[in-house]
Amino acid sequence: MQQAIDQYTAEINAFSPASADELETFRIKFLGTKGIIKDLFEQFKTVGPEEKRTFGKVLNQFKQLAEAKYLELQEKFKSEIENPKSEIDLTLPGDGFQTGSRHPLSLVRNEIIDIFKRLGFVVAEGPEIEDDWHNFSALNFPEEHPARDMQDTFFIKKNNGKDDIALRTHTSSVQVRMMENGKPPFRAIMPGRVYRNEAISARAHCFFHQVEGLYVDENVSFADLKQTLYHFVQELYGEGTKVRFRPSYFPFTEPSAEMDVSCTICKGAGCNMCKYSGWVEILGCGMVDPNVLENCGIDSTKYTGFAFGMGIERIANLKYVIRDLRLFSENDVRFLNQFQSEII
Ligand code: DAH
């Protein structure tokens, strides 16, 4: 036992650690709960009574030596123990993180808003849950119009036995709210989500997005409508894009038209996007029907206006050649990541 203690004493005296880690190894080896000192005290229990006196002293001195050495060195490595050296290699390149990307429908909506803002239009919004008045009646829909049917519209509540509250089927309802709550002139675009009771397929969805436009003032004419939309298309699809207006019918406009643009994919040469006609329809429009103005408390003998409505999905289809409407709402990152470079 004496021999072992002499050997350990020499080891302790010579111990000169280079790091706090080495000191910790030292502590475990000598002072730990399964360490050498503990072990020597265990052995000490078995020595004869006459040896106990001498060894007891030697052992205690040895223990004090180890503890003193430890405390002394602990002081030396104090800062290293309290602030362990970080394992991070600052010379390595960073991990980087993935930025998100705007949804293609947001990109298109923002672009439409930007173009009309430059023409002096403001942006307005309305509720997605609408009553019959704002979605249909004020907009001059006759009582028996098919859009009022459950087949086409998600009605959610009856009033006095009649279907009344519904998910709006178009953003034209926002026109009504705007005109009811203000005074002409109005010059606004109204983007938003709309709902229709359709089976989901590549070509139809139960919800989609529209941008409505409204311009009401004294002396607004069909020529203003054509010029505004012509300018819009030049900005959206580039100079030289052709437009044509075809007569159409909407209850809330008179006269009404649909506007086609020369096919943005084949530039009019004919492709399967335009069904080889060279033209694609992008919106409905017309002069606000005087009945609608009157329904909203606006003097139709003094004011006239034009309105238009377009589907954002349709514009995005033509811009990015996306043929399946479902892609817009599935949120598959392999689809969404393709719009990474277009953050605006
Ligand atoms: N509300 C029509 C729809 O959902 C689109 C529309 C057509 C809006 C003509 C208008 C308009 O403002 O003048 O199909």
Task: Please list, in sequence order, all residues whose beta carbon lies within 8 angstroms of the beta carbon of residue 167, skipping any fewer than 6 positions away.
Answer: 128, 129, 130, 153, 154, 156, 194, 195, 207
Q: Determine contact, residues 129/165, Cβ cutoff 8 Å.
A: yes
Give residue 89's pLDDT band: very low, low, confident or very high (50, 70, 90).
confident
Q: Determine contact, residues 123/189, Cβ cutoff 8 Å.
A: yes
Report the atom number in ligand 1 closest to the C-alpha of 214. Answer: 12
Task: Give the residue whose CA is nearest to atom 6 of ligand 1.
Answer: 309
Cα 110 from Cα 229, distance rounded (Å)? 17
- pTM over 0.85? The answer is no
Between 12 and 94, the higher pLDDT residue: 12
The domains located in the chain, with CATH, are 2-82 (no CATH), 104-342 (3.30.930.10)
For CA atoms 87, 91, 92, 94, give the dihedral sign: positive
Give residue 44's pLDDT band: very low, low, confident or very high (50, 70, 90).
confident
- Residue of 175, 246, 285 to mutate, ligand 1, most atoms within 8 A of C-beta: 285
pLDDT, tens digit (0-9, with 9 covering 90-100), for 104-123: 999 999 999 999 999 999 99
Look at residue 146 in the predicted model and tell me its pLDDT: 82
Q: 């999905």: which residue's tokens?
A: 313
Q: Return mean pLDDT, the chain.
A: 91
Where would I find the H helices in 77-136? 78-82, 104-118, 132-135
Is 83's pLDDT higher than 80? no
User: Whose CA is closest to 325, among 210, 208, 171?
Assistant: 208
Q: Out of 271-275, 295-299, 304-308, pick the least confident.
A: 271-275
Cα 109 from Cα 312, distance rounded (Å)? 7
Six token digits for residue 119:
């023409």
Report the atom number in ligand 1 closest to the C-alpha of 213. Answer: 12
Q: Determine contact, residues 233/243, Cβ cutoff 8 Å.
A: yes
